[in-house]
A and B are shown apart, each in its own frame.
Chain A
Amino acid sequence: MMARIVSTLYAAAIYAFIFLPVAVLVLFSFQGTLFPIPPFNGPSLRWYGAVLNDARLTDGLLNSVLVAVTSSALATLLGFLSAWGFARYYLPASAVLRGFITLPLTVSYLIIGMGLLIFFNWIGMPKSLTAAGIGHVVINLPLCFAIIYSQMGDHQANIERAARDLGAREWQVLTLVTAPMLWPALFASFFLSMTFSWDEFVISFLLTRFDTTLPVEIWNLLRAGLNPKTNAVGSLVFGVSILLAIVFELVAFRKRPR
């Protein structure tokens, strides 16, 4: 009995440690006065209104959505094609090449961001949302590749062979058979990429200038000091992340009939 109480308290303490900052952030986004500090006198939607009336923040939000959707779609597509290539064709030094494709997972975003900054500078490509989007493809492609590659087996190779035998061209095999069979993996890759792109800061910060993503706008806002508006926009970002994570979990861990 005692052990049970202690372990329950321990678990509660751990969850409090993890979620208390977020809870405080969300709570004070509903603050009625000018400062996000106790005492709490709300709830009020005043700061959410302020966020939605701030053109820079709403632009940032739309930019973030745009970058997340396009970069995730591209990363998923490229990850799918490379996984298919590795799974279906004999390549010399296949294991080494696979290692290289997943390597960016281990490199810090700062290094990738700086590398891309130098490279884009060198080829004369200006800082832009496109540049940040390419950065997000770089960080998410290895992830998409790993997820999709893990789901490709020999059984599916035989199914593709059957499609070819029945007259399907290569692009028809990919679009009508391979991709639909891997639909859960593709979907999971896409949503996980979205989650990472959505709140990614360093690469966006380094690679964008005038039009930028929401995390960078929030950082700009923070430089002017704390106010409940930052809490409100932070809560919005958090809410969207949670939503994406839930979708990912539903897709990736749903029990599937064989």
Chain B
Amino acid sequence: MTALVSVDSISQSFGQVQVLDAVSLAIQPGSYTVLLGPSGSGKTTLLSILGGFLQPTQGRVLIKGEDCTAMAPARRPTATVFQDYALFPHMSVGSNVAFGLRMRGVAKRERLGKAQDMLRIVGLDQAFDKKPHQLSGGQRQRVALARALVVQPAVLLLDEPLGALDLKLRRQMQDELKAIQKRIGTAFVHVTHDQEEAMALADHIVVMNHGRIEDEGPAERVYARPATRFAATFMGESTIVPGRVEADGQVRTALGLFPASGQVPGTEVHVAIRPEHVRVGPAIPATVKDVVYQGSFKRVTATPTAAPDIQLLARLPAGEPVQEGAEISLRVDPGEIIFLKD
């Protein structure tokens, strides 16, 4: 499968500050790609480069096989949904959505019809004649989405599109975004710092940090087998402990021996343990430091007796009778140990 968008070792510097460092990325047609990272990771810069609002210091952007690196935003087959929506305040919702078609010389009747169709897709056909300031945040978000989609871009770029919404609306819009993307089949590239949002939406998650891609792949893979220590800590919680790979193919850590297939004997490694892979069992005696009741489970922090400087995170069943300060014995599922690169 040839990539729809190829980012070819893009670097971007602002003065002395390097924001992107030789980033390469392929985006497949029809995929939902999420660029995930903390602020300052370069994810928004990468999106601006894809949209044509920024010229990279080095590297190329190919869209549908064509070099778009120096192409103006207007001429690229991309459309952007801005974080603050950037709707035209003086135009009606219908005119906002029809704007891109108007710029393409589509006749008034036709473009207003298409705008109405697109508003129906995002569930806002009642708002055609309203002004943006009469709409709620979530509704404006949909107008921005419709306005970008109506020009039928090859790639839709979304810059933290749900950032301004409250949590409930956010989760609801997530589901709708995913449904709309599936329905129209356009490739979406979505920037966020919310890992839950990323996992809910992405076919392909790209974890970024300090201007580099730390890990990328399907959400399940990135969560279950994160490639780097950063990816493991940014995507969900885990306990990270150092270890040493022994000659017999096991890794020795403060929490005991675990199978280390494929690791080079004699090397120092870090392993990550997801809290859901820790259960009550006879392996690791520990003292419970903290219990947080989360409804469907208990989030437990425990200090192993053998390694008091480690805080072992566990997700125990809600019915488990654990008390702060109590002695407990835990067990780590050996098949779920994650080996990390630094």
Contact = CB atoms under 8 A, between A and B. Distances in A.
A165 B99 CA distance: 11
Contact of A162 (B72, B82, B90, B133): B82
A162 B103 CA distance: 12
Interface in A120-161: 155, 158-159, 161
A257 interface: yes
A162 B80 contact: yes
B138 to A, nearest CB: 17
Given A167-B100, A168-B103, A172-B103, A162 B74 contact: no
Interface residues of A, number: 20
Contacts of A176: 99
Contacts of B133: 257-258
Contacts of B230: none
Given A161-B82, A172-B103, A167 B151 contact: yes
B297 interface: no
Nearest to A172: B103
Nearest to A258: B133
B88 A163 contact: yes
Interface string B85-100: 0111111000000011
Give chain B's interface residue range (CB within 8 Å of chain A): 20 to 34
B84 interface: yes
Contact of A164 (B74, B87, B88): B74
B142 interface: no
Contacts of B99: 163, 166, 168, 176
Considering residues B53, B84, B90, which has the most beta carbons from chain A within 10 angstroms of its beta carbon? B90
B73 A165 contact: yes
Nearest to A168: B103
Nearest to B134: A257
B20 interface: no
A165 B74 contact: yes
Nearest to B80: A165
Contacts of A163: 88, 99
A257 B147 CA distance: 22
B183 interface: no
Contact of A166 (B53, B89, B147): B147
A255 interface: no
A166 B74 contact: yes
A176 to B, nearest CB: 8
A165 B79 contact: yes
B73 A161 contact: yes
Interface in A51-65: none
B86 A159 contact: yes
A181 interface: yes
Given A165-B73, A167-B103, A172-B103, A180 B84 contact: no
A183 B74 CA distance: 25
A177 B88 contact: yes
Contact of B103 (A166, A180, A181, A257): A166
A104 to B, nearest CB: 31
Interface in B116-163: 131, 133, 147-148, 151
Contacts of A4: none
A181 B90 contact: yes
B104 interface: yes
B51 interface: yes
Contacts of A257: 131, 133
Interface of B: 51-53, 72-75, 78-80, 82, 84, 86-91, 99-100, 103-104, 131, 133, 147-148, 151
11 contacts: A159-B86, A162-B88, A163-B99, A164-B73, A166-B79, A166-B99, A166-B103, A166-B147, A172-B103, A257-B131, A257-B133
Given A159-B89, A162-B80, 14 more contacts: A155-B86, A161-B86, A162-B82, A165-B51, A165-B53, A165-B79, A166-B147, A166-B148, A167-B103, A181-B88, A181-B90, A257-B131, A257-B133, A258-B89
6 cross-chain pairs, A with B, having the tightest CB-CB distances, nearest first = A167-B103, A166-B100, A162-B86, A180-B90, A165-B73, A158-B86
